[in-house]
Amino acid sequence: MEEGKRLFRMKRWDLALRELLQVNAEKFSGEENTELAYYLGLCYTKLSRYDDALLYLEQVVTSGRDVLRVYQCRMTLAYIYVITKRSKLAEFELKRLRGSGFESVQLYTTLAYAAWSQKNYKNAVDLYEKALDLDETNTTAMNGLGYILVDTDTDLIRGLRLCRRAVDSRPQNPAYLDSLGWAYFRNGELLEARTWLRRAMDLAPQEKTIREHFRFVTGEE
């Protein structure tokens, strides 16, 4: 198992997984089995094999004694549920963490994204605000809050300002460029909107939301 852990720390996820799957765990203690499940779950997550990851991460959550490791696995479970569009399950994991006294920017931004995915916009705004209360420089929270504010016509000026700050911090992030372009569009500034949406398209032409915004604003495919 040590070789698998070493490869994992080197970010050689595929090799680490291969090594860990060969481990003979018959004589392992419960704690050692939990540690093996932890690394297997993270390797599968890094390799985007999410259904396999869930099996091992759940083992850690149900049997692990290391509080921080359980916290990390719950966050990873929530992440998997969000990106696989199982937002209610993501919320369940995150609320368990919140109820246990854990508070972090990542917790609030993930909860906010899950709320947004379910069109619970007011709750999403409140959660992004809490994330920014913890870290006013967090670009994920800036972008997420800014996008919702302009997309729902809640506060067009503040939303644009937040999206602008996110892009200033991460100028090559296509999601942030898309949000900024959309914010300009919602504020009636079409030239700026086209400029930023085109930049987003150049970086991530495969992203559905970016393509939809670009087509809607420019009329181009």
DSSP 103-116: --HHHHHHHHHHHH
% of the chain with per-residue pLDDT over 70:
99
- What's this model's pTM, rounded to 2 decimal places? 0.70
In degrees, rounded to 5, the angle at the alpha carbon of residue 49 between the alpha carbons of residues 100 and 33 is: 60
DSSP structure class, residue 154: S
Tokens of 139: 């670009």
- Cα pseudo-dihedral 145, 149, 152, 156, rounded to 10: -160
Helix (H, G, I), strand (E, B) or coil at 34: helix
**Domains of the chain by start residue, with CATH:** 137-221 (1.25.40.10)
**pLDDT for residue 208:** 92
Task: Tell me the mean pLDDT in the region 149-177.
Answer: 97
Residue of 100 and 38 predicted with greater confidence: 38
